[in-house]
Amino acid sequence: MCIRDKHCKHGMHSHAGNQLVSVTSAPGFAASAVSSGVRGEGVLDLALVAGVVAGVMDRTVRTGATVRTGPTGPASSAVPSVPTGPADHAVPAGPAPLVSCVSPMACAGVFTSNLAAAAPVQVSREHLVRSKGWIAAVLLNSGNANAATGRQGIEDAERLCDEVACLLGVDASQVLTCSTGLIGIPLDMERLVPAVSQLAPALASTPAASEMAARAIMTTDTIEKHALVTAGGFVVGGIAKGAAMLAPNMATMLALLTTDALVEPPLLSAALEAAVESSFNHMSVDGCTSTNDSVIAMASGRSGRTPSIDELTEALSTVCGSLARQMARDAEGATKLVDVTVTGALSSAEAMVAARKVAGSLLVKCSLNGEDPYWGRVVSELGSAGVGFDIEKVSVSYGGTVVCRGGVAAYHDEEAVSRHMAGAELEITCDLGLGDASGSVVSCDLGHGYIDENRGTS
């Protein structure tokens, strides 16, 4: 299995070279993005990703669509007409847009556990049920979370889905919507509705289109987040956003995955849930759980390959894992990506509780930001985690160098530890010495930038 991801702000090597890996890499998908003006004129803040059947490259855009019941179902023989004359939309110079028929694809979603779930989360959950997991498009906007906006927020989210559905010629229940941004502020529908009409004509199956979509969902992110896996005759691509309110059980994050695997919604749903559990649910930046967390996966079936549940889960997990690490690395104010691993626990559940306790400790995070291997804070967190613990059996290491053994300081190579602490990626391993279970969490340090970003409304 080959994983490719986007360059990160700390210079992580990308196996993709200059070619962006993208959500449109899986055959059967197109993307577009525009500026509605919500985040400022010219700032991309609205994106659309749609499932498409056989495409035709053309210089004229048509906005009609045929609909089929799923990847294995027959497409309608009706072909949308191509507008002619003055009404034609002239496409700017550059890659020609993809002109094709939009089609519902197998789809699955995992959403926030926050009981204050935002309107788009509520609407998308309902649409997945009503459509029985066959979705044609996902609309994403940034700058406004449409959370804590009451009944009006639900109606606005439904209207945006209706607008997309009319443009693509599908049922509104076959459109999902995701939002990210400020909480408690109604959507600016006077800006968003006209902007939505620009998305369908701009749909394209190009890396550039995917990059624009990834950029449109950014809020306090500093980079777009992409990942791509090729595995056993099918591919999985993904884009995501997230830089704060990142905690176990997902985060302030949106992630959209696409694959050309030939699968039904129940299999895709099971695989996605397992992938999220092993990736996004093992990430923590600030311990806060968002109102808008959404991870959505769509499958076009274009590869003709039906992977096993294990194969699909592994591929989805690899993409989700890469995106999760990119989020932690790009966290607000962060200077270091941190892997916290707990071994020797009595159970996997206890190992995860202990790892999360250490990863979420503000004192530990501050030490990491100061490049101080203060293992005493780590031991203190382990002892208060509420799991099996015997201080005389505990050891702590930084970058593979043991600094605490049996609950007391251990002689070690201080220069080796200092070199490790000065790096952009840190590893903390805690051995409880009680059992065989282990667990790990991806996290980061706590820098001044986090406070600067969050001391006001952001």
Active site (catalytic) residues: 252
Cβ neighbours for 180, distance < 8 A, ≥ 6 positions apart: 140, 141, 142, 143, 145, 217, 219, 241, 252, 254, 292
368, 337 Cβ separation under 8 angstroms: no
Cβ neighbours for 432, distance < 8 A, ≥ 6 positions apart: 342, 343, 344, 345, 346, 351, 354, 382, 387, 388, 389, 390, 393, 394
CA distances from 66 to 52, 104, 106, 125, 139 (A): 10, 10, 16, 24, 19
Cβ neighbours for 150, distance < 8 A, ≥ 6 positions apart: none
**Burial class for 393, CB neighbours closer than 10 Å (0-12, 13-18, 19+):** middle
Estimate to the nearest angstrom the gap between the alpha carbon of 399 and the chain centroid: 28
Largest CA distance in the chain: 82
Q: Distance (Å, rounded) from C-alpha 237 to C-alpha 22?
A: 6
Q: Distance (Å, rounded) from C-alpha 427 to C-alpha 401?
A: 10
Q: Distance (Å, rounded) from C-alpha 250 to C-alpha 252?
A: 7
Q: Distance (Å, rounded) from C-alpha 188 to C-alpha 373?
A: 48
CA distances from 99 to 24, 26, 175 (A): 14, 17, 19
Cβ neighbours for 163, distance < 8 A, ≥ 6 positions apart: 193, 196, 197
294-299/254-259 β-pairing: parallel
- The DSSP bridge partners found for residue 182 are 144
Calculate the CA dihedral of residues 250, 255, 258, 259 and round it to 10 degrees: -30
User: What is the number of residues in the chain?
Assistant: 458
447, 334 Cβ separation under 8 angstroms: yes
Cβ neighbours for 129, distance < 8 A, ≥ 6 positions apart: none
Q: How many CB atoms lie within 10 A of CB 93?
A: 6
